[in-house]
Amino acid sequence: MVIDIIRDAEVWNQPVFAYQSKIIRKIRKPAPKSAAGTLERLVVKTSVTYTQESMAHWSAMGSANSSYAKTVEYEYELEVNSQGEIIGGQWISWDRPDYMSHRLQPKTFDHKIGHWAKIVEIYDASR
Protein backbone atom coordinates (compact mmCIF):
# COMPACT_ATOMS: atom_id res chain seq x y z
CA MET A 1 0.00 0.00 0.00
CA VAL A 2 1.23 3.48 -0.84
CA ILE A 3 0.17 6.73 0.82
CA ASP A 4 0.65 10.34 -0.29
CA ILE A 5 1.27 11.90 3.12
CA ILE A 6 1.04 15.61 2.16
CA ARG A 7 -2.26 17.40 1.45
CA ASP A 8 -1.00 19.81 -1.18
CA ALA A 9 0.16 19.92 -4.79
CA GLU A 10 3.40 18.05 -4.05
CA VAL A 11 3.29 14.26 -4.11
CA TRP A 12 5.19 12.38 -1.39
CA ASN A 13 4.31 8.72 -1.83
CA GLN A 14 5.50 6.50 1.01
CA PRO A 15 5.18 2.73 1.46
CA VAL A 16 2.92 1.72 4.34
CA PHE A 17 4.00 -1.36 6.25
CA ALA A 18 1.63 -1.33 9.24
CA TYR A 19 -1.68 0.11 10.32
CA GLN A 20 -4.16 -0.40 13.13
CA SER A 21 -7.72 0.90 13.29
CA LYS A 22 -9.99 1.23 16.30
CA ILE A 23 -13.62 2.31 16.55
CA ILE A 24 -13.64 4.94 19.28
CA ARG A 25 -17.33 5.86 19.19
CA LYS A 26 -20.61 4.63 17.69
CA ILE A 27 -23.35 7.14 16.94
CA ARG A 28 -26.68 5.40 16.38
CA LYS A 29 -28.21 8.05 14.12
CA PRO A 30 -27.33 9.79 10.86
CA ALA A 31 -26.10 13.38 10.74
CA PRO A 32 -28.10 15.93 8.70
CA LYS A 33 -25.69 15.56 5.74
CA SER A 34 -25.13 11.78 6.01
CA ALA A 35 -25.48 9.59 2.94
CA ALA A 36 -29.01 8.33 2.28
CA GLY A 37 -29.51 5.02 4.10
CA THR A 38 -27.09 5.73 6.95
CA LEU A 39 -28.11 3.76 10.04
CA GLU A 40 -25.13 4.57 12.28
CA ARG A 41 -21.85 6.47 12.21
CA LEU A 42 -18.54 5.08 13.43
CA VAL A 43 -15.75 7.37 14.59
CA VAL A 44 -12.50 5.60 13.78
CA LYS A 45 -8.88 6.30 14.72
CA THR A 46 -6.21 4.68 12.55
CA SER A 47 -2.47 4.64 13.20
CA VAL A 48 -0.46 4.28 10.00
CA THR A 49 3.27 3.48 9.96
CA TYR A 50 5.18 4.23 6.78
CA THR A 51 8.80 4.42 5.70
CA GLN A 52 10.44 7.80 5.11
CA GLU A 53 13.23 8.46 2.63
CA SER A 54 16.69 7.19 3.47
CA MET A 55 20.14 7.39 2.01
CA ALA A 56 21.28 4.44 -0.10
CA HIS A 57 23.09 1.71 1.83
CA TRP A 58 25.27 -1.13 0.59
CA SER A 59 24.52 -3.47 3.47
CA ALA A 60 21.54 -4.32 5.64
CA MET A 61 20.90 -1.79 8.40
CA GLY A 62 19.23 -4.13 10.88
CA SER A 63 17.49 -2.28 13.71
CA ALA A 64 18.71 1.08 12.34
CA ASN A 65 15.91 0.80 9.76
CA SER A 66 13.42 1.75 12.49
CA SER A 67 14.74 5.31 12.44
CA TYR A 68 13.08 5.69 9.02
CA ALA A 69 9.65 4.58 10.25
CA LYS A 70 7.08 7.22 11.05
CA THR A 71 3.64 6.70 12.60
CA VAL A 72 0.76 9.12 12.12
CA GLU A 73 -2.81 9.01 13.43
CA TYR A 74 -5.92 9.83 11.45
CA GLU A 75 -9.52 10.22 12.67
CA TYR A 76 -12.54 9.90 10.45
CA GLU A 77 -16.22 9.04 10.55
CA LEU A 78 -17.75 6.20 8.54
CA GLU A 79 -21.44 6.08 7.63
CA VAL A 80 -22.85 2.55 7.70
CA ASN A 81 -26.13 1.19 6.33
CA SER A 82 -28.38 -1.57 7.75
CA GLN A 83 -26.29 -4.28 6.02
CA GLY A 84 -23.11 -3.03 7.74
CA GLU A 85 -21.71 -1.58 4.50
CA ILE A 86 -19.75 1.69 4.45
CA ILE A 87 -21.73 4.11 2.28
CA GLY A 88 -20.11 7.44 3.17
CA GLY A 89 -17.99 9.30 5.63
CA GLN A 90 -15.78 12.27 6.30
CA TRP A 91 -12.40 13.18 7.73
CA ILE A 92 -12.24 14.54 11.27
CA SER A 93 -8.49 15.15 11.57
CA TRP A 94 -6.92 17.99 9.61
CA ASP A 95 -3.81 15.93 8.85
CA ARG A 96 -4.80 13.20 6.46
CA PRO A 97 -3.46 11.50 3.37
CA ASP A 98 -4.00 13.11 0.00
CA TYR A 99 -4.10 9.74 -1.70
CA MET A 100 -3.84 6.02 -0.86
CA SER A 101 -3.50 3.09 -3.22
CA HIS A 102 -3.07 -0.65 -3.01
CA ARG A 103 -3.25 -3.57 -5.39
CA LEU A 104 -5.78 -6.16 -4.34
CA GLN A 105 -4.16 -8.92 -6.35
CA PRO A 106 -0.56 -8.70 -7.58
CA LYS A 107 0.12 -9.11 -11.27
CA THR A 108 1.83 -12.36 -12.18
CA PHE A 109 5.49 -12.00 -13.07
CA ASP A 110 6.50 -12.97 -16.58
CA HIS A 111 8.47 -16.19 -16.02
CA LYS A 112 10.11 -15.82 -19.46
CA ILE A 113 12.28 -12.86 -18.45
CA GLY A 114 15.49 -14.29 -16.99
CA HIS A 115 16.43 -11.41 -14.67
CA TRP A 116 13.08 -11.80 -12.87
CA ALA A 117 13.76 -15.46 -12.04
CA LYS A 118 14.93 -14.90 -8.44
CA ILE A 119 12.14 -12.40 -7.72
CA VAL A 120 9.58 -14.84 -9.13
CA GLU A 121 11.00 -17.57 -6.88
CA ILE A 122 10.65 -15.34 -3.77
CA TYR A 123 7.18 -14.19 -4.86
CA ASP A 124 5.94 -17.73 -5.50
CA ALA A 125 7.32 -18.91 -2.13
CA SER A 126 5.46 -16.09 -0.35
CA ARG A 127 2.14 -17.20 -1.81
Q: What is the pLDDT of residues 79-94, one digit of tens each?
A: 999 999 999 999 999 9
Cα 2 to Cα 9, 62, 93, 108: the distances in Å are 17, 23, 20, 19
pLDDT at residue 112 in the model? 54
Q: Which residue has the higher pLDDT, 98 or 81?
A: 81
pLDDT at residue 110 in the model? 53
**Tens of pLDDT, residues 5-54:** 888 888 888 888 889 999 999 999 999 999 999 999 999 999 999 888 77
Distance CA 28, CA 7 (A): 31
SS3 68: helix
The H or E element containing residue 38 is none
Q: Which residue has the higher pLDDT, 59 or 12?
A: 12
pTM recorded for the entire structure: 0.70
The H or E element containing residue 125 is helix 117-126
29: which DSSP letter? S
The alpha carbon torsion through 12, 17, 20, 21 (nearest 10 deg) reads 40
